[in-house]
Amino acid sequence: MTGGKLENVFKLIEQKGEYTFLYSIEDVDQVSSVNVNVKQADLKEVLDICLANTKLMYEINGRLVIIRVKDEKPEDKMVVIKGVVKDKSGEPLPGVTIIEKGTTVGVATGIDGKFTFNTTKHDNIVLVFSFVGMKTKEVKWVGQKELDIILEEDALEMEEVVVTGYQSINRRDMVGSYSTVKASDIMMPAYSSIDQMLQGQVAGMMVINTSSRIGASPKIKIRGTSTILGNQDPLWVVDGIIQEDPIQINATTYMTEDLSNIIGSQISWLNPQDIETITVLKDASATAVYGSKASNGVIVVTTKKGKSDRLTINYTGNLSINTRPNYGMFNLMNSKERIQFSEDAFANKAIYLNEPVKQYHTYEGIMKMYIAGELSQDEFFDRKEQLETVNTDWFKLLTRSAVSHNHNLSISGGTEKVTYNVSAGYSSSLGQEIGNSQERLTGRVAVNAQLRKNIRTNVTINAVTSKTKGFGQNVNPMSYATTTSRALPAYDENGDLLFYRKSASYLLNNNVTDLGYNFINERDNSGSSVETSRFNATLDFSWDITDWLKYQFTGGYTRDNKNNESYRTEKTFGIAENYRGYDYNTVDADSPEFKSAMLPFGGELFTSDALQSSYNIQNKLLVSKSFNPDNRLNIMVAMELRSTRFSNNSNTVWGYAPDRGGVAIQPTPPDELVPISNTSTGWGILRNIYKGRWKKETKTDNFLSFFGTFAYSLKNRYIANVTIRNDASNRFGQDANNRFDPTYSFGLAWHVTEEDFMREYVPWLSALNINVTYGIQGNALTSLSPDLLLHQMGVADLYNQYYTTISSIPNPHLSWERTRSWDIGVDLELFKMFSVAFDYYTRRSNAIVSNTLPFEYGTTTTNLNGGIVHNRGVEFTVSFTPVKTEDWVFNVSLNSSKNWNETGESEFNAKLNNFLGGASDKILKKGYPLGGFWSYSFAGLSSEDGRPLFNLLDMPEGGADPEIDPTTFLVYSGTSEPDFTGGINLGLRYKSFNLSSSFALLIGSKKRLPSPYANFPSSVRIPEPDVNLSRDLLKRWQKPGDEKYTDIPALVTSARYNIETPDGSNPNWIEAWAQSDVRVVNASFFRCRQLTLTWNMDPAVCGRVGLKSLSLNASVNNLFVIASKRFNGFDPELGDSVMPKVYSFGVNVGF
C-alpha cells in the first residue's frame, strides 16, 4: 500500500479475522499516509513500519491490538474494566454492545451479562452501553473494581408507551383497551404478511384463514361485527398513516373470479421484517381518535427505526417447504368404489341429467358401447377391470411440496444527530397448487434527523413490487383433485394428455353434446395474475416550541397500482363450449361448425389497470407537562385531511392469442354467423363479443377531521382521558346535517396499587388498575349515498339507444352508522411475575341495512339506517413465568375472548333461502346473531324407500302460505362464525436454545358438512361419470333395515322426489336433507400454528469471529389441528381444502 490511510491498514488486518484493533480515530487521522510493501511479514513488522516516525505506539494483548499516543509518563498503562449488565428486574442481558466513546472497537456481554474491556488508562474513559429495546447508557469509569450496569427499557418500547398512531402516550396515562405484541415474537417464516401471523395472539381479535392459496388474506374481526353492508375489516395504521382499503376488482365479468382470491389486504405490501410492534386498539376510548374509520377496531403498526449506534448489518433468510395433500386425508372413493357406484346406479335405473357419452374411460361410456354392440361382453368386463385399477393420483399431478424462500438485509446505525434504517427484502413463494406463486421485492429507507436541539424530522420511504399468479376461470386444482374420479387417467399410454369426453353444449349448435377435456390442459392454457407496484412516503416534522409544547406535522402519500389479468386460450374447454362448439383444431374452415363459431380463433382476455393514490396531512399541537412527578397533563389538538382517488380501466377482449404475440383475432361478425339447428339467441351478447367490453371508473373519497385528546394523571393513580373528533365526508354531498359526524369517548382509570394502604397491606400485589370507558363511533360507508345514483350505460341492443340504470334511489335520511360502546377493564400483576387482564364490553350499532322494493321503483333494493346490532363480550389475558433461573426460563401467555352477537329489528323480509344459508350482511331474525342459520329438522329415513323424513312440516290450514315465517318449520342451528377465540403461546429457554410454540382455539361456529350428493345435478340426478364421490355414499340406504344404521338417504330412482313445506317451496328431499340439522357439524378447532427451535450463538463467541449475533432456527407451521372427525380430512377453517404443513429453516446474522 502506497499513500494509504493508517486506519485502512488496520481494517485490512482485521479482515483476516485474527486481530482486533482498538484506537482513537482522532489520533490515527493525524498520520496522513503510510507506505507499506511487505510479503509474509508478521504483525509486529507491519506495525513497526506503519508507526515509524509517528507519535503512536502499539501494544498486543492476545488478539487485541491497542494503538495509542506515546506518553512520556511511565505510569500510563493498560487497564482492564470488568462488570455485568442487567435489566431493571436484575436479569443479566447477553449481547449488550460496549464501546469506548470516541473509538470504533468494542466488546459484547456474554450469556451471563458479564464483560471484560481493555483500554489505555487516561482521565476520561467513557463506556457506551447499547442494546435493542433499551436506552443507550454512557458510564464514566473512575477506577471502580467492577461496574454494575442497569439498562432501562427504551421510552418508545411498548412497556413504556403506547403508540396509538397519532401520538405516543405514557402507558400509565392511557385509559382504554389495547394489546401490543412485538413482531419478533410472532414472526412466522411460512407467511409473507403480518396479518396471517396474528391468529391467537390478541384477546378479542378473531383471525380466520379463508384460503391456503398464496396471496390470500385472512378475515379479521375485533369484538364482533358492528356493520352489515360496510367493510367489516379493522383499520390499519402504519407509522401514523391510515392505510386505505385495498384496490378491489369490479366483478363485471366472470373472468375476475380467481383474481379476488389473490388481491391482498391493506397491509400485505409491508415486509414483516420491517415491523417493530403491532398495537391493537379495541374499545371506544382507544379508537375514538380515528373517528369514522375505527368502528371495527384499529391495528397500529410501528416500523423499525435507526438507533444511535455503530453501523449494524443484519441478514435474515428463511427456506420453507410445505407438504402435499394426499388421498389418505380425504374420505373419497377410489377407482373400484367409483365404478361400483356407477354400476349400482345403472342397475337401479337411477336418473342421469345428461345422456352418458360413449367412451373408454368411464363405466357409463363402456356400458353404452356394450349396449350398442360396439364392445363384446369379454371386452366390456376387461375394460371395466382396467378402470377399477387406474387410481389416478390427482393430488400428485396437481399439487406439490412447494419450496419458498425469503431474504431480508437491513443496515442501521447513526449518531446522536442522525439515525437511519435501510432494508431490502425479497421473497419467492410457491403455492401448494401447481401454478400458484408469488414474488415480492421490498425496499425501505427511514432517516431520523435532529436539525436543531428542538427540531426533529423523520422521513420514511417504502417501495414494493410483487406478482402473484393464480388460475383461470373454472380452474381450481385442489377442488378438481377432490371432485374428479380416480378412474379417469390424465395421460394415455404414450404419455400424452388424455382428453376424455365431457358433457357440453353450445349456444349456436344444438348438436353439441360433449367436448374433449383435460384439466392439466385447462390449467396450462389459462391463468390469472396480479402485478402490484406501491410507493409511499411519510414525513414527520416535530418542533419543541417549549419544554412542554410541541408542534408536529405528519404527511403521507401513497400510490398503489395493480395490473390484473385473467385469460384462457383457444385450446381450453371453456372457449370451445362457450364460443366455438368444437374441439380445438378439429374442423375445416368451410365446415358448418366453423361457420357457427363465434370464436373460430383465439380465446378470452380480461385486463384491469387500477390506480389508487391517497394523501394524508396532519397538523398537531401537543402539550405534555408534569407539575410534579405524580401529576401529568397531556393534550393533543389536531386536524387531518385525507383524500383517496381511485381509477380503473378494465377491458375484456375476445380472440386473444397469447402464443401469437398476444394479438386479438377478430371474432366472427354476428351477421355472418350460421347457427346449426333451430337455435335462436340474443344477438346483443354476440355484439359484445365482437366489439369487446371496455369500462373506465373513477371514485374520490375526501375526509376532513378535527380532533383532540386530553389525558390527566393525578397523583399517578387517578387518570382521566377524553377524546373528541369530528369527521366530514363527501359521501353525504351538500347535506350539512349529515356531512359531519362527531364522535367522542371518555375514560377513567384508578391505579389502585399506588395507594399507600395497598403498598403496606398487599405488597404481593404488584399492580392493580381499574378502568371504565364510554364512547360513540361513526362509520361512513363509502359505497353508499343518500342521493339518487344513476349509471349512464352504453347503447341498449333492443332499442339501439343510450340507457341509464338506477343504482340507488334517494334517501335524504341516510346518515352515518353509529356505535355506542362501554368497557370495564381490570389489570393486575402478582409478585411482578404473574399478570392478568380482564375486559367486559358492550357495543350497540345502528347499522345501515338493505330493504327490498317493488319493481316499479326501478331498482329492487334501497338502504336505510334501520338495523340494530348488539355485541357484548369478555376478554381474558394471562401471562406468567413459572420457571426463571440463570439457565432455564419458561414463559406462558394465554388469551381468550367470548363475544355475544345479537341483532334487533330490521325491515328486511327474509325468505326461506336466507334462513337456510345464513347471512352476515342481513338481519334475519331479532334476537339472533349475524351469521346465524336454520335447518330442516331431520326425523330419520323411511324404511320403505330410504327417503329422508322431517319434523315440523305440518301444513297450515288453508294450504301453503308463501308469507309464513320459515322459522316456524325450521330449527336454529347456530352461527357460522366463532364466538369464542383463544390463543396459547409457550416459550422455553435453556441457555442458548429457545423452544417456542403458538396455538389457536376457535369455538362456537357451526357449518354444514358437504353433502355426499353435492355433485349430483339438482341434488337428485346421477352426476357426470368424471365426478368423484364421497365414500359416505357407500353407507347410503340400500334396503329396508338400513335406516337403523345410516342417516344417508337412498339414491333417487323415481320422478317424484319433492317434499311439501308450509311455505310451498317444496324442495327435493335430498336438498332438504343436505340442509337439515343432521348435516350440521361443530366447526370448533384447536390448531398448533407454529413450533420453533432457535439456537443463539454466545455473543462472546460471535465477537471472536467478527459477528455481532448469529441464530439458527427450525420451525413447523400447522403441525396439527384437532376438530370434529366428521370433516373427514377437510380443514374446519377452510371447509373444502386443507392448510398445508410447512417446515421452515432460517438464519439471522448480525455484523
User: Does 82 lie in the same domain as 65?
Assistant: no
Task: Please give the average per-residue pLDDT across 1064-1083, as a whole number.
Answer: 90
> At 251, is the pLDDT very low, low, confident or very high (cuts 50, 70, 90)?
very low
From 95, 125, 150, give the residue that closes a domain.
150
Highest mean pLDDT: which range of 303-307, 323-327, 516-520, 779-783: 516-520
Q: Residue 338 pLDDT > 90, yes or no? A: yes
Same-domain status, 102 and 42: no
Query: Which pLDDT does position 587 carry in this prediction?
Result: 92
Which of the residue ranges 65-79, 1010-1024, 1069-1083, 1100-1114 would you say has the lowest mean pLDDT?
A: 65-79
**How far, in whole angstroms, is CA 264 from its chain's centroid?**
7
**259 and 186 share a domain?**
yes
- In 524-602 the beta strands, taken as DSSP E runs, fall at 526-544, 549-568
pLDDT at position 290: 80
- E strands in 831-923: 834-852, 861-884, 888-903
- Buried residues in 544-572 as b, exposed as e (16+ CB within 10 A): beeeeebebebbbebebbbebbbbbbbbb
For residues 115 and 85, the answer to whether their CB atoms sit within 8 Å is yes
Higher local confidence (pLDDT), 379 or 245: 379
Written as nine digits, the cell of 877 is: 389475558
Record the cell numbers describing residue 1045, joined without a space: 344404521
Query: Could you give phi then psi for residue 106, rounded to 5 degrees?
Result: -150, -170
Task: Give the whole-angstrom CA distance, residue 473 versus residue 44.
Answer: 74
Whether residue 168 is found in the same domain as residue 209: yes
Does 1114 map to a domain?
A: no
* CA separation for the pair 299, 302 (Å, rounded): 10
| Res 1042: pLDDT | 92
Q: Are residues 755 and 184 in contact, defined by beta-carbon separation less than 8 angstroms? A: no
Alpha helical stretches, state H, 29-182:
43-51
Ranking 532-541, 985-994, 1005-1014, 1019-1028 by mean pLDDT, the lowest is: 1019-1028
**181 in the same domain as 92:** no
Instruction: Lowest mean pLDDT of 703-712, 739-748, 1023-1032, name the range.
Output: 739-748
Answer yes or no: do 145 and 165 share one domain. Answer: no
- How does pLDDT run across 845-888, given as a tens digit for each residue? 887 666 666 666 666 666 666 678 888 999 999 998 888 887 88
Q: Name the pTM for this structure.
A: 0.76
Nine-digit cell at 525? 392454457
Rounded average pLDDT over 1093-1109: 81
* Dist. CA 93–CA 150, nearest whole Å: 9
Question: What is d(CA 385, CA 636) in angstroms, rounded to the nearest whole number?
Answer: 80
For residue 809, give the DSSP letter.
Answer: -
Closest CA relative to residue 430, chosen from 581, 322, 587: 322
| pLDDT over 80 at 1029, yes or no | yes
Closest CA to 434 of 469, 468, 404, 399: 399
Ramachandran sector of residue 655 (left: φ over 0; alpha: ψ -120 to 50; beta: rest): left
Last residue of a domain, one of 29, 45, 69: 69
Residue 826 cell numbers, joined: 381490570
Q: Where are the beta strands (DSSP E) in 453-484?
A: 455-470
Of 301-310, 321-330, 416-425, 526-535, the one with minimum mean pLDDT is 301-310
Quick check: 535 pLDDT over 90? Answer: yes
- Specify burial of residue 266 (Cβ count, 10 A radius: 0-12, 13-18, 19+): buried
Q: Is residue 794 part of a domain?
A: no
The pLDDT value recorded for residue 262 is 53
CB-based contact 679:626 (threshold 8 Å): no
Tens of pLDDT, residue by residue over 889-944, are 899 999 999 999 888 877 667 788 888 888 766 777 888 888 889 999 999 999 99
> What is the reported pLDDT for 680?
56
Question: Do 204 and 301 share a domain, yes or no?
Answer: yes
Averaged pLDDT for residues 808-837: 79
pLDDT value of residue 1136: 64
pLDDT at 1100 over 50: yes
- The arrangement of strands across the sheet holding 97-100 comes to 106-108, 97-100, 125-130, 137-141
Dump pLDDT digits (tens) for 635-693.
999 998 989 999 999 888 899 999 888 898 988 888 888 888 755 555 555 666 766 67
| pLDDT digit string, tens, across residues 24-42 | 777 777 777 777 777 777 7
In single-letter form, the type of residue at position 302 comes to T
CATH number of the domain encompassing residue 110? 2.60.40.1120
Q: Which domain holds residue 116?
A: 78-150
pLDDT top residue among 61 and 1121: 1121
Whether residues 218 and 254 share a domain: the answer is: yes
769: in domain:
no
- Amino acid residing at 337: E
User: 34 and 99: one domain?
Assistant: no
Name the residue with higher pLDDT: 350 or 786: 350
Which helix (H) or strand (E) segment holds residue 380: the answer is helix 377-388
Split into its structural domains, the chain has a count of 4
The kind and range of the H/E element at 156 are: none
Segment 745-767, tens digit of pLDDT = 899 999 888 888 877 778 788 88
Rounded mean pLDDT of 228-247? 77
Top-confidence residue, 104 or 333: 333
**In this model, does residue 112 exceed pLDDT 90?**
no
Taking the mean position of all CA atoms in its chain, how far away is CA 531?
18
- Using one digit for the tens of pLDDT, what is the confidence trace for 859-870? 666 666 667 888
pLDDT, residue 527, reads 92
Same domain as 245, residue 171: yes
pLDDT attached to residue 252? 43
Q: Residue 678 domain-assigned?
A: no
Q: Of the candidates 373, 390, 407, which is a domain's last residue? A: 390
CATH label of the domain that carries residue 38: 3.55.50.30
If asked whether residues 168 and 305 sit together in one domain, one would say: yes
* pLDDT tens readout for residues 815-829: 667 788 999 999 988
Q: Answer whether residue 189 is part of any domain.
A: yes
For the segment 1022-1048, the average pLDDT, to the nearest whole number, is 91
DSSP 8-class letter at 151: P
d(Cα 1149, Cα 500) in Å, to the nearest integer?
54
Q: Indicate whether 57 and 189 sit together in one domain.
A: no
Across the range 160-178, mean pLDDT stands at: 76
pLDDT at 184: 82
Domain CATH for 264: 2.170.130.10
The verdict on residue 446 lying in a domain is no
In a domain, 377, yes or no: yes
Average pLDDT over residues 190-197: 79
DSSP 634-647: EEEEEEEEEEEEEE
Q: Which of 1092, 1089, 1088 is nearest to 1144 (CA)?
A: 1092
pLDDT of residue 253: 47
Evaluate whether residue 680 is within a structural domain: no
